[in-house]
Amino acid sequence: MEKTLMSVSIFLPTEVFLEKDGIRKVITEGMEGWFTLLPEHIDYVAILTPSILTLEDHNRETRYFAVDHGTLVKRGKQVFISTRRAIRGKNLDSLAHVVEKELTAMDDLEKKARSVLVGMEHSIMQRFAELNKM
């Protein structure tokens, strides 16, 4: 693998869903909106929302995944994604439907519980970031 490329791992509660080297670009959505990570990007932590994760490899081939709520950590050339669910897809249209219908559909109680948990996760991540600056 070239020095200028990233390694991406996606972890589910029960398995390692994906381990892929040679990634030149990661695009996904977090609580603050859509973002792109390149190999030389600074270390980064984000809370993910249900969305499409796009990976572009060294040949400029693109892979798409629907991901549920989760956490993304970029450290050096490694990107670690932990999520409850991930679905591999061939194109954006089919995965957009999956995100809309399956990953964002939940009852009111689950929405409230997730909202509280996501807020706590975000607060913890911010505190870790503040500690790192000291």
Q: What is the dihedral of CA 23, 28, 33, 34, to 10 degrees?
A: 60
pLDDT digits (tens, 9 = 90+) for 118-130: 888 888 888 878 8
Helical segments of 40-107, H only: 92-98
Q: Is 35 left (phi over 0), alpha (psi -120 to 50) or beta?
A: beta
Cβ(70)–Cβ(94) below 8 Å: no
pTM above 0.85, yes or no: no
For residues 23 and 74, give the distance between their C-alpha atoms in angstroms, rounded to a whole number.
13
pLDDT digits (tens, 9 = 90+) for 25-45: 999 999 899 999 999 999 999
Asked if the structure places residue 125 within a domain, the reply is yes
Asked if the structure places residue 106 within a domain, the reply is yes
pLDDT digits (tens, 9 = 90+) for 73-83: 999 999 999 99
Cβ(89)–Cβ(66) below 8 Å: yes
For residues 120 and 94, give the distance between their C-alpha atoms in angstroms, rounded to a whole number.
32
Where in the sequence is the domain holding 96, given as residue range(s)?
A: 6-133
In DSSP terms, which residues pair with 111 in a beta bridge? none
* Vertex 101: Cα angle to 72 and 115 (nearest 5): 50
Asked if the structure places residue 49 within a domain, the reply is yes
CATH number, domain of 122, equals: 2.60.15.10
Asked if the structure places residue 90 within a domain, the reply is yes
Asked if the structure places residue 72 within a domain, the reply is yes
Asked if the structure places residue 1 within a domain, the reply is no
Provide the domain count of the chain: 1
